[in-house]
Structure 1
Amino acid sequence: MSARFLRGCYNVVFGCVIKRLYRGGLNQRNLLTLPLNFFTNFSIIFIWLMIFKNAGLIPIDIRPKIHSKAAFYLDNYMFGDFWGEMYAQFGKTSYFPWTIFTSVVFTSIFLLLIPLAIWYYIYYVKKLDYNLMEWNDHIFHFSNKSNPKRVRTLCIPFLLPFFALVFLNIMHIFAKQTEENFANWKDFVSWVSYVILHLTAPILTAVYLYVFHPPGVVKCFALSLGIQNLMGVTTHLLLPMAPPWFIHMYGITDTEHVNYTQEGYAAGLVRVDKQLGTHLNTSGFHMSPIVFGAVPSLHSAMAFQCFLFLITRSATYKGRMRNGISPSRKEAAPIFISESSEETEIGSSPELPLGLAGDDELELRILGPEGSTNSSCEELEATADRCDAPGTLALYYVHDAEFCTRWYFGIFNRAILPRLLGISFLLWQWWSTMYLDHHYRFDLFVGVLYALFVHILINHYVLQPKVLQPWLAVRLQQIPDTRNEGRTMGMRVFEDTKLEWFFDPLA
C-alpha cells in the first residue's frame, strides 16, 4: 500500500510538475542552449562586474582628479539641507535658506515645468494618440482606448524624477545620521536591503518577467541593467566623487585622504558586523576597488530598474474571456475571437460565447520602417506613420470567469503584488543607503536618471518594436506561432489547466 502510494506521488511530482516545468522552461530548446541564452542575455552584466573588480589595476597616474566636495554641495543645494550638514561643516546658519531656495527652483523648473511642457507638446500640440512609453497600453493595461484612467497615466513617466525627489526627501528624514536615530533593528533591516536584496531582487524580478510575460522581456531587463551599470562604473572611473561617510569622517576641507590609496569603509555596516560578530562587511569594503564611486548609486539604479519593469509590465485582469471549458487540443479546433464581431469562431462548437469588452479593443499598432527608429518631435504625428490594424485574438484556452474572480485572486488580478513589491523595495533601498551613510540623495537621484534613461532607450528601440509588437502579432493571428512563443513560460507550464489564464498578460 505504501509502495503504491509513493509510486503515485512520484508519478504526480515527476509527470505533472517536473515534466511541465522542464518542457515549459526549455520551450523547444535544450539544456545546452538555455544556459547559453542566459549567458548571452546577461553578458553585459558580467562585463560590468569584471570592470568593477579589476578597476584597481588602472595606474593611479592616469586616473582623473577626485571631486570630494561635489556630491556634498549638489546634494544640499538640489535637495535642501534638512540635516544641517552645512552648519556642521562650516558653522554658519546662513546656508540653510539658500539651500531651500535653490532646491525649490531646481524642482520647479527642471522637474515640473520642463517635463510638463514636453508632455503637453507631445500629446496636445503634436497630438500623439498613443502612449509613448507603452504603445499598446489599451491591450496590456486597459480594456480599450476610451478608459479615462489611460489619459491620466500619460503624464506619469514625465514626472517620475519629481516623484523620486519627493520620496527621497521623505526617506531622508528617517535616515538622519545621529546616535538617537541608530538602532540595532534598523541596522539589520538596512543590511538586508543593501546587501541581500541588492543581489536577489534583480534575480527575482527576472524570474517574474520570465514566468508571467512574453519571451524577450527578460532579455530587455538584463540589457537595461547591464547598460546602466556599465554607464555607472564608467562614471565612477571618469568622474570620481566622495561618499557621505568620507565627509562625515574627514570633513569637507580634507585633502590628505583624497587619493586613490584611500581604503574603503563600510560606514553603517560596521554596526551590523558588531551585532553579527563578524568582519565580513568591514573587510569587503576595505578591499573595494572603487572607493570614490558614489555617483551614480548603482543600488538606486538597479532598484529603480526593477521598479520600472514591475510597474510597467504587471497587468490587471481585464476579463476578456467569458465562461467556458478549456478544450483539449486533441479534441477541439483553435479558438479565435474577432474584434469586429462578438461571435466566436470555435470550429463547430457554439458553447463558448467569447467577446470583447469594447469596439476598439485589441488593435495592434503596426510600425512603419521609420516608426520605431525616428524619435524627433516632428515625426510624432501618430496617424501619419503608424496605423492600427484590427486583429483576431487567438485564445489558447477558455477559463471560468467565476473561478478567475474569486477573492483570493484579487491581489493578483489588480496587479497589486508586483507593484507593491517594486515600490517597497525601491523606497527601502533608498532609505537603507542613506541610513548606512553610503549615498547622498544626489547619488540616488542620478542613479534614478541613469535607470530611467536606459529604460526609455531599451523600451523604445527594443522592447516595444522587437519584443511586444511581434508577440502581439502572434496573439492577434497576424504572424504564425511557429516557436510556441505566443504563450508565456507560466502558460506553457500550466497549459490546458484552469490556471493557464493566470499567467497571460492579455487575460
Structure 2
Amino acid sequence: MSIVLSLATFVKNMYNAGLNQRNLISMPFNFMLNFAPVFIWLSIFKHAGMIPISIRPDIHSKFAFFADQFLFGDYWRELSVQCPDNASKLVFWSFVTSSAFLLAFLVGLPFAIWYYIYYVKRVKYNPLEWFANIFHSPRNDKQRPIHKRFRTIFIPFALPLFTFVILNIDHLFAYQSDANFTKTKDLLAWFSYVILHITAPILTAVYLYIFQPPGTLKCFGFALGLQNIAGVFTHLLVPMASPWFTHLYGINDTEHVNYTQEGFAAGLVRVDSHLGTHLNTKGFHMSPIVFGAVPSLHSAIAFQCVLFLISRSTSLKHRFSNRRNLTMHNDDFSTLKLNEDDSEDDTDNHAALMVGPNDLEMEPLGNVESVDILDERSPSPSPSFSVSSNERNTSNTNSNSGKKPLQFVHLYNEDTEFTNKWIFKIINEGLVPKFWAILYITLQWWATMYLDHHYRFDLFVGVLYAMTSFIIINWFVLQPKVLKHWIHLRIGDKADTRNEARTFGMRVFCGTKMEWFFDPLA
C-alpha cells in the first residue's frame, strides 16, 4: 500500500511540476511555441516537392564529391575510380590541400581568434559562457585563467579540429566494400541513423527540461529550428548530390541529374533485407528533396544535441552542503557583485530585501577575474557577475557601497551522508552527459558514412550550421535572457512569483533528499 501511495504522490508531483501554475490548455501551447521553428522546418521539407521544377536552380552533382576529397583527403582512393586519367596527381593533391585546410582553417584560424580575444582585446571572461564561474566552478582550490580552461578552448575553438579528426577516423571504418559490410554493422548503423536521429533530440530535450533552468529547452528548440530552416533552404537553393549517387551512377553522369530522380536508401537497403521490410526503401524513394546533401541535417541535429549537453552539463560541487568542509574554497575571499546596470526594478529589489538573512547562503565561486565587463569593448550585453578590482578591494571596507553581494537563496539543505554515496561520485563531475554526447556524435557520423548517405564534407558543413545557430541563440537569448534571469531569481534579487527558481526535477523532488541532484548550481 505504501508503494502505491508513493507512486501516486510521485505522479501528482510530476503533474504539478509540469504544469507549474499553467493549465492543460496553455501547456501544449507553450510546447508548440517552443518548437515552432522545428515545425516550420518540417513543413518546408514536406512541401518542397510542390515547387515547380522550372524555377528550381541547377543541381551541383560533383561539388560535394570533390570538396570531400580535397578538404579531407582521398583515403578511399575514390579519385582513382572516378577520375582514372589523372588519378595519381589528384590523390597526391588531395592530401596536400586537406593538410593546408587543416592547418590554416581548423588550427591557425581558431588559434588566431582565441589569441585576439584573450591576448589582444584582453577579455577576461568566456564570451560563450558568461556565467562560467557560477555554473562551472571547479572543486579544487585553484582554477586556471578563463582563457586556459579546457571548456573555454574546446567550445568553440577546438571543435572544428575535433570534427575533422573524428570524421576521418570514422571514414576509415566506413569503407564502401562488401568485405566491410556485416549484418551487425548494418543494424548498428540503422539504429543510429534512424532511431537515434529521432530519439536523441527528444532525450536531450528531456534532460534540459529536468536538469536545467526554465527556458533552456526553448533555446534548444529554437537552435534546432534555426539551423534546420537554414539547412533546408540551402538544399533548395544549392542542391548537391549524396555519395550514393556518385557510387551508383558515376561522377560524370548527367542523365540522372534532374528533379525527377527518385531518392535511394543506399546502405539502408541492406537493413530492409535483414529485417524483411521495405520501409527504408519506400521512404527514401518518396523523399521530396533528393539532392539535399549539404548540409547534413543528421549531423547538424546530432551536433546541436552535443553542444547543449556539453555546455549545460555542470559538475555537482556541494555548494549548498551543510558541512563547510565540503563547500568550495577560494584564495580570493572577495564576493561577487551585481553590476549597476543589472539592478532590477524597485518592486523586485523590495521583494529581495524581504528575504531574511537566514534564508540566504553565501558561497565562494572560485577565483573571479579582476575585470569589469562593462569596460570591455564588446557589443554583448554585460555578463553581470564580474567585478572590477577596485570594487572588490573596497567591498569589504565600505559597507555602504550600495552593491549587493552575490548570495543564493537557500532552497534546501543538502544531506552530505546521502550525496556522498558512490553512485553520486561517479556523476559528480557532470561527465555522463558529455560522454554520451561524444559517443553519440561519433557513432552518428560513422553510421551516416557507412550507409553512404553523406560525405565528410556534408557532415562538416552540418556542424558549422549547428555551431552558428548555437552561438546566435546562446548570445542573444540563452545567456542574457534565460540564465541571467534565473540567477537573479536564485540570489533573491527578483521575486520568484512563478516558481521558476527550481528546475523541473527540483520541483518534483522538492523537500526530499533528491532535490539537490537536479540543481545545476549544487
1:492 to 501, 507, 513: 507
Matched, 1:119 2:114: yes
Deviation at 1:158, TM superposition (A): 1.2
* Structure 1 position 48 matched with structure 2 position 41: yes
Q: Does 1:28 align with 2:28?
A: no
**What secondary structure is seen at the aligned counterpart in 1 of 2:510?**
coil
The question of 1:308 aligning with 2:307 is answered: yes
* Candidates 73, 94, 97, aligned match of 1:99: 94
Aligned pairs for 1:205-220 within 5 A: 205-220=204-219
| Letter in structure 2 aligned against 1:138 | N
Measured in 2, the distance between the counterparts of 1:498 and 1:364 equals 38
Determine which of 5, 14, 30 is the counterpart of 1:11.
5
Q: Which residue of 2 aligns with 1:356?
A: 363
Task: Compute the displacement of 1:117 (Å).
Answer: 0.7
1:81 shift after superposition: 0.3
- Matching residue of 2:329: none
- CA distance, structure 2, for counterparts of residue 46 and residue 314 of structure 1: 27
Question: What's the offset of the Cα at 1:402?
Answer: 2.9
**Superposition TM-score, scaled by structure 1 size:** 0.88
CA distance in 2, matches of 1:362, 1:389: 18
Whether 1:152 aligns to 2:149 is yes
State yes or no: 1:451 paired with 2:466: yes
Query: Contact (CA 8 Å) 1:322, 1:353: kept in 2 or not?
Result: no
- 2-side partners of 1:340 and 1:113: how far apart? 36
- Residue matched to 2:62: 69
Unaligned runs of 5+ in 2: 324-333, 338-353, 393-402
- 2:414 alignment partner in structure 1: 399
Inter-partner Cα distance in structure 2 for 1:216 and 1:495: 20
Equivalent-residue separation in structure 1 for 2:454 and 2:261 (angstroms): 18
Residue identity opposite 1:173 in structure 2? L
TM-superposed deviation, 1:454: 0.6
Structure-2 residue corresponding to 1:328: none
Question: Number of matched residues?
Answer: 477
Instruction: Supply the RMSD in Å over aligned alpha carbons.
Output: 3.0
Counterparts of 1:479 and 1:155 in 2: how far apart (Å)?
A: 33
Q: Residue by residue, what CA displacement relative to the aligned partner does 1:395-437 show, whole Å, maximum 9, x if unpaired?
A: 1001122321211112321112111111111111100000000
What is the aligned partner in structure 2 of residue 280 from structure 1?
279
| 1:24–1:492 Cα contact (<8 Å) kept | yes
Match of 1:179 in 2: 178
**Per-residue deviation, 1:447:** 0.1
Change (3 A) 1:266 1:355: same
Match of 2:245 in 1: 246
2:125 touches 2:369 (CA, 8 Å); kept in 1? Answer: no
Report the CA distance between 1:256 and its aligned residue. 0.4
Sequence identity percentage: 54
Cα distance per residue 1:11-39 (max 9 Å; x no partner): 3222x211110111111111111100000
Provide the C-alpha distance between the structure 2 equivalents of 1:339 and 1:476, rounded to a whole number of angstroms: 13
Secondary structure of the 1:210 match is helix
TM-score, normalised by the number of residues in structure 2: 0.86
Matched, 1:37 2:34: no
- The 5 Å alignment of 1:151-170 reads 151-153=148-150, 154-156=152-154, 157-170=156-169
Deviation at residue 195 of structure 1 after TM alignment: 0.5
Task: Tell me the SS of whatever aligns to 2:193.
Answer: helix
1:83 to 70, 73, 76: 76
Q: Which amino acid aligns with 1:504?
A: D
Q: Using the TM superposition, name which of 457-466 and 23-32 deviates more.
A: 23-32
Q: 2:516 aligns with which of 486, 489, 501?
A: 501
In 1: Cα distance, 2:490 partner to 2:363 partner: 15
Which residue matches 1:332?
none
- The structure 1 residue matched to 2:433, chosen from 418, 422, 429, is 418
How far apart, in 1, do the equivalents of 2:286 and 2:212 lie?
A: 40
Alpha-carbon distance in structure 1 between the residues aligned to 2:371 and 2:488: 7
Code of the aligned partner of 1:155: I
* Shift in CA distance, 253/489, structure 1 to aligned 2, threshold 3 Å: same
Q: Aligned equivalents of 2:27 and 2:266: distance in 1?
A: 41
Shift of 1:354: 6.4
Corresponding letter in the other structure for 1:147:
Q
Which residues of structure 1 form unaligned runs of 5+? 325-337, 376-380
Answer yes or no: is 1:469 the counterpart of 2:464: no
The letter of the residue matching 1:277 is G
Q: CA deviation at 1:358?
A: 5.3
Return the alpha-carbon distance in structure 1 between the equivalents of residues 193 and 249 of structure 2: 24
1:232 matches 2:231: yes
Q: What is the CA deviation profile of residues 143-188 of structure 1, one whole-angstrom value per residue up to 9, with x for unaligned ones? A: 5995127532322221211110111001101000011100000000
**How far off its partner does 1:115 sit?**
1.1
